[in-house]
Every structure is written in structure tokens, then in C-alpha cells.
Amino acid sequence: MKTRFKPKFNIKKGDTVVVIAGDDKDRTKPRKVLEVIPDKARVLVEGVNIITKHTKPTAQNTKGGIVKQEAPIAISNIMLWDAKAGKPTKVNRQRENGKLVRIAKKSGEVIK
């Protein structure tokens, strides 16, 4: 991604989201965001896009073997979960007391 204009995303670490596209698509099951990678426009979501990684034995991992872990998915494939409405929602940003807050468009609630 170009660095001239830094992208702004409405998803943060710890948010609950739903996957709206891809192999793990399920618009009814909210999941947690583990990590956001803004320069690549990707997110790591709990239990989504599981890959098997073959690891060699090291000092920390003496056994090695096959490890299952999450791989990043495109940020466009997820949508923020609105707990009050119980549905995925878009995000609106507004200033309140000099701070920028995220507001769910479905219910109008402030997202913590």
C-alpha cells in the first residue's frame, strides 16, 4: 500500500466482527479481532482462516511438528458487530468532547 495517504480503518484490536466474505463466512457468529495490520489492510480474526504451519524443533519449542494458527484476512471481508442490534453494522465517526468516537449506524450506540 502507498504511504502517501495513510488509510484509516474502523476496526480495532479487541472488536467483535463478523466475516462477510470468504470460506469462513458467517454473518451470525461474532468473533474477536486479534490484530490489525493497517499497512497491508489485513486483520487477524480468532478462528478464521486457519492454516497448518510446520515448525522445526527450537530451544523454545523442543517438539516441533504441525501447528494450527490463524492467518490474516482482508479487512474488507469483515464487518463490525453491533451487540445491541445483534447484526453487522457500518461505522460512523463523530467528535464528542474533542475525541473521535465510533458510532454504530444500525443502533446509534457508541462503540467502546
- pLDDT (tens digit, 9 = 90+) per residue, 66-98? 999 999 999 999 999 999 999 999 999 999 999
* Total count of domains within the chain: 1
Residue % of the chain over a pLDDT of 70: 97
Q: What are phi and psi of 77, to 5 degrees?
A: -90, 5
pLDDT band at 2 (very low <50, low <70, confident <90, very high): low
- pLDDT (tens digit, 9 = 90+) per residue, 42-58? 999 999 999 999 999 99
pTM score: 0.84
In a domain, 78, yes or no: yes
In a domain, 67, yes or no: yes
Which residues span the domain enclosing 28? Answer: 15-83
Sequence-separated (6 or more) residues with CB below 8 Å from residue 27 = 18, 19, 20, 88
Q: What is the CATH number of the domain that holds 75?
A: 2.30.30
Quick one: average pLDDT of 14-18?
Answer: 97
